[in-house]
Amino acid sequence: MPEMSGYTACVALKADRALADIPVVFVTAHRDEAFEIAGFEAGASDFIGKPVNPPLVLARVNAQLRFKKMADELRRGALVDALTGLSNRRRFDQVLFLEWARARRARTPISLAMVDVDHFKRYNDRYGHPAGDACLCSVAQALTGACLRPGDLVARYGGEEFALLLPETPFSGARHVAQRVLAALAALDIKHEASPDAAHVTVSIGGTSYGEGPSDWHRFGGATVPPDGGRPTPSALVQGADEALYQAKRAGRGQALVVPLTFDRERPSVESDTLERILLGRR
């Protein structure tokens, strides 16, 4: 390879997150031990000596593909919540980082909704943990049905809390998703006699959006943080949705509070006394 050695190409592949898991097989006339050791250290999966024997090449490539398939299945299992089949917290964190970066590059809005099942401990105490598991699975299906686009991510954030990541979704779109979630939970009509607020299972939703206009991203496009605010980050989006969820619960549960995320103070804010807020009624 005149411009890049096989070692250099292998190291470059392994350094790219999207390509790192692709098996690399060296086909080479070198047979010394030091050469193979250097190749394995660079990330090679196997070596095939020249002259090439086609049946041997096919057998070794098929073996690497089998190993790759098993590794992919293990990785997928590590990113899926075992109970609900949704993406788990680890997968959510990965996708949030990628979608935030993509939204910043494209100057498009991004929204996040945190969904918490109200009085879930009381539900478990009243009906038992198997019923609680079934309840969470039903809620997971309802949330998935409420997110209509393939790019939306529904994840189990932890316990009875779920996250809806909505790329390319402005403030108004996040409101509509929250309304669909409330309607879907009302339609499930899962009995909850231990709830002090409703006769059926309800959820509280805290949502927030950022990047409604390109100017939001442009304001923070440089390397210097403005003196009157902080730099927008993926964790700020989560913090804003968490604060909105807390306010929705304080307002009586079984409802959604969706607010735009701003950076006009020392930290991200969704305080209701200074921001426009949409409080969706009980269902």
Give the whole-number percent of the chain exceeding pLDDT 90: 53
Long-range contacts formed by 41-48: CB under 8 A, 24+ apart: 42/7, 42/10, 42/11, 42/14, 43/10, 43/11, 43/13, 43/14, 44/10
Closest to 99 (Cα-Cα) out of 32, 44, 164:
164
Is-catalytic flag, 3? no
Instruction: Exactly one of 36, 99, 160, 193 is catalytic; name it.
Output: 160
Closest to 205 (Cα-Cα) out of 119, 114, 269, 135:
114
Alpha helices (runs of H) in 43-170, residue ranges in sequence order? 54-78, 89-106, 120-127, 129-146
User: Going by C-beta distance under 8 Å and a sequence separation of 6 or more, which residues neighbour residue 147?
Assistant: 153, 154, 164, 166, 177
The model's pLDDT over 88-142, given as tens digits with 9 standing for 90+, comes to: 999 999 999 999 999 988 889 999 999 999 999 999 999 999 999 999 999 999 9
Catalogue all structural domains in the chain, each as residue range(s) with its CATH number: 6-78 (3.40.50.2300), 89-280 (3.30.70.270)
* Cα 80 from Cα 75, distance rounded (Å): 9
- If one counts every other C-beta atom within 10 angstroms of the C-beta of residue 126, the result is 15
Q: What per-residue confidence (pLDDT) applies to 265? A: 42
**Model pTM above 0.85:** no
